[in-house]
Amino acid sequence: MPEIPAQKTAAAAVPAGEIAVVAITRHGIVLAGKVVRALPNARLYAPEKFAAEAERAAPGAQTYAGKTGDALGALFGRVDGIVGIVSLGALVRLISPYLKAKDSDPAVIVLDEQGRFVIPMLSGHLGGANALAGRLADALGATPVLTTASDVRETLAVDLLGRELGWTLEATHAALVHASAAVVNDEPVALVQEDGSLDWWTRHANGRTAPLPANLRLFERIEDVDPGHFSALLWISQRSLPTTCAAAWRGRCVIYRPTEAP
């Protein structure tokens, strides 16, 4: 198999639907205008008392009466992303009643009023919050504060492999958690690629500049892998899982289905 190149070649994927930028102070609203201009699918939401300021900062801004927590609740099930220009602690308390699941909650970002730090706090991978934080950091000159283990160490994010190429993922929740833990804990992981483009590392959804992690060993066929030597299996293939392999890899196999030819 050809060596996987390490340079970054693709932009990070951010949420495709509406991104609500919620600001609750005058200074925050000024910064929110910059955020809206940086994200074409973003809209400012502010308290009704700051309607004039919000319209100046971002024409077409929406205002709300009542509590910010109620406004966030109304947005939570409707938008793909939320950028809160409030304190981290405040945003945690405001959104906590509306949390459901990592595969359905919107991406949530917190940004300080000075625009110094941008912190993805919810749905970092599947929801695209980490990618959104990177986009805002570039636009505002801010520092992204990433806390997900795979991004801090620039290793493989198991749930994002092939995402930029349109690949689909097949795995139980337990297997996905197990494989992700094996990767970030530097356990030996077999990565078998039988189909699809070879540039999945360079087109990683959050971008990577380091080489492929040393604990990932590449194979061309699943039959070549000894299950006793690896903690998990990442299998890129169009084939059905061979019956001779299914039992050996049960609970620790993640399958990726490419949509394009190698």
Domain edges within the chain: 19-147, 158-257
pTM of the model: 0.63
The answer for residues whose C-beta is within 8 angstroms of residue 156's C-beta and 6 or more apart is 150, 183, 201, 204, 212, 213, 216, 234
Is the predicted pLDDT of residue 173 greater than 90, yes or no? no
Residue-wise pLDDT tens digits, 185-220:
889 999 999 999 888 887 665 556 677 888 999 999
Which has the minimum average pLDDT: 30-34, 147-151, 173-177?
147-151
Is the predicted pLDDT of residue 111 greater than 90, yes or no? yes
Is the predicted pLDDT of residue 21 greater than 70, yes or no? yes
The pLDDT-based confidence of 148 (bands split at 50, 70, 90) is low
Q: Which residue has the tokens 């030819």?
A: 261
Section 218-245 average pLDDT: 93
Residue 229, φ and ψ in degrees, nearest 5: -100, 0
The answer for residues whose C-beta is within 8 angstroms of residue 7's C-beta and 6 or more apart is 202, 209
pLDDT, mean over the chain: 84
Section 59-82 average pLDDT: 93
Section 42-60 average pLDDT: 95
pLDDT of 20:
95
Asked if 160 contacts 176 with a C-beta cutoff of 8 angstroms, the reply is no
Listed as own residue / partner, the contacts of 239-245 with beta carbons closer than 8 Å and 24 or more positions apart are 239/194
Asked if 158 contacts 146 with a C-beta cutoff of 8 angstroms, the reply is no
Beta-carbon count within 10 A of 66 CB: 9
Section 237-257 average pLDDT: 91
Q: Which two tokens stand for residue 229?
A: 């030597």
Is the predicted pLDDT of residue 250 greater than 50, yes or no? yes
Is the predicted pLDDT of residue 12 greater than 90, yes or no? no
Question: What whole-number distance in Å separates Cα of residue 164 and Cα of residue 179?
Answer: 20
Strand order in the sheet with 232-236: 168-170, 253-257, 232-236, 189-193, 216-219
Distances (CA, A) of 45 to 28, 33, 159, 174: 11, 11, 31, 38
3-class state of residue 42 by DSSP: strand
Section 116-130 average pLDDT: 76
Asked if 157 contacts 129 with a C-beta cutoff of 8 angstroms, the reply is no
Which one is predicted more confidently, 114 or 148? 114
pLDDT of 5:
34
Q: Name 84's bridge partners.
A: 22, 110
Scanning 77-172, the segments in alpha helix (DSSP H) are: 88-95, 129-140, 149-152
Section 41-55 average pLDDT: 95
Section 31-49 average pLDDT: 94
Section 71-86 average pLDDT: 92
Domain 19-147 in this protein, CATH class:
alpha beta
- Of the ranges 67-71, 128-132, 168-172, 210-214, which is most confident? 67-71
Asked if 157 contacts 125 with a C-beta cutoff of 8 angstroms, the reply is yes
